Amino acid sequence: MNGSDSIIKELFGISDCDLVSTEETVEKGKRCKTIHLTYSGGVPGECPKCGGRTYSHGKRDLTIADTPMGGVPIRLVITFPRRRCSQCRNLWQPLFDNVNETRKMTSRAYADIAQRSLRATFREVAEDYMLTHVTVKNVFEDFIREYDRQLRFKTPAFLGIDEIKIKKIGEVTVITDLEHRTVYDMLDGRNQKRLTEYFMTMPDREKVLWVCSDMYRPFQKTIGTAMPNARWAIDHFHVVMKANEAVDTIRRALQQSMPRKDRINTKRGLAYTLKTRRRDLTVDEAVKIRQLRKNPELEPLAMAFDLKEDFFDIWDENPSSKDNAMAAFDRWEQEIPEDAVYESFRILAKTVHNFHEQIFHYWDCPLAISNGYTECANRLIRETNMKGRGYSFETLRGRSLYRKYNLLAIINSGGLSIGPRVLAKGPLFTTEAVDAEDTEVEEEEWEPFPEPEYEVDETTGEIME
């Protein structure tokens, strides 16, 4: 290895090349440096495929991108010879270490582009490299597919499932680890067939003990088929939310018989107040509720407010007793007036009966299970999608699963089952702007969640003594 070859190896990681020249140009108002190299390695006189004699088949230039230096994009142009076999016509040309010839860039540029794309838009990365945003997108998706084959997250014992609708993608199913508050996976679609196929191939699916979701009925068959040891608990926030919907239904029904002015005043003055919890009412809002009780035409709104509050109290006043909660529901149902105007609350009671077992599983789960984290993850996924002005599903999934905070939590919880060692520090896997969750901390001090203070029977899901 001569001096020039050694320098090229040290600078770019490419062997058997000598430096020829460098030049700096300005393209589209941006400086760009081009470094010309020539191949200096061995050239076979015999065909490596059949052993026949080879002859010169001219020279070619390979232009590849490298990581920018001092903010200046770098291009490497490698001139190399080619040899053709006189017998089998096989064409030989040298292979270069640390070069991704498919994407026409060095291996380190490939990794840098992929990692930058986790926290910046494709166009921003493309501008730094003087590439097209389509090239950057392709590199990122290649990297994610490659990384997805290497990384496997451990199957959670407490699974959260929810869906979001993403423009240009459609329905996306988001799956989370509720115990450790991490995103586990994302699926393109939400129908029962798709869900069942996914969960039937999920590794260690028998280790799932609890699944929390909304009242999407196909979940019942999917969970029963694919997760033999899991119990389905319906997120109680989705249940109590229906009490607010019942109040809105009554308010709209009463407004239909009002003059336009009164209808607008009622909507503006009461729509929000009626859905506010009693303990959170301001003085003015409490006065509005009292005034409703004195008005025969609007008194049903006060009754609807009371029914809504009593329904919320089933959870609030019975945090640890399932029997007391079921008894409270029975009493609440009996207190619904027979008037037709309260039909929306009778529908709510019927919904609870239809999902009685799954709703009251809330009190059986050792985590007081809730899908609140999944809802939070959905918001972050939407924001990530908005930053990119509409990603493909694969890109959105990669940016969500492999963001820094998610991986740090998985690593610290021991939730990484197989795959390469992932460094917990540095810019890798960051997708959000720098904020509280990206603040640099010492690795040994990182405690994103407390360890559970219980042991769970893997068969029944009950707390063990």
**pLDDT tens column, 24-36:** 988 878 899 999 9
Residue that wins the pLDDT comparison between 445 and 359: 359
Averaging pLDDT over each range in 118-122, 273-277, 437-441, which range is the top one?
273-277
Task: Give me the long-range contacts of 420-426 (CB less than 8 A, separation at least 24).
Answer: 420/150, 420/151, 422/151
Least confidently predicted of 205-214, 270-279, 396-405: 396-405
Residue 240 has pLDDT above 90, yes or no: yes
Least confidently predicted of 189-198, 415-424, 428-437: 428-437
Segment 261-273 mean pLDDT: 71
Least confidently predicted of 122-136, 177-191, 403-417: 403-417
pLDDT for res 111: 87
Q: What is the pLDDT of residues 36-93, one digit of tens each?
A: 999 999 999 999 999 999 999 999 999 999 999 988 999 999 999 999 999 999 999 9
Confidence of residue 439 (pLDDT cuts 50, 70, 90): very low
Instruction: Say what percent of the chain tops pLDDT 90.
Output: 50
For 130, other C-beta atoms within 10 Å of its C-beta total: 17
Residue 167 has pLDDT above 80, yes or no: yes
Residue 157 has pLDDT above 90, yes or no: yes
Q: What is the pLDDT of residues 329-355, one digit of tens each?
A: 999 999 999 999 999 999 999 999 999
Residue 424 has pLDDT above 70, yes or no: no
Segment 362-390 mean pLDDT: 84
pLDDT for res 450: 37
Residue 453 has pLDDT above 70, yes or no: no
Confidence of residue 419 (pLDDT cuts 50, 70, 90): low
Average pLDDT over the chain reads 84
Segment 108-117 mean pLDDT: 88
Q: What is the pLDDT of residues 291-306, one digit of tens each?
A: 889 888 889 999 999 9
pLDDT for res 149: 76
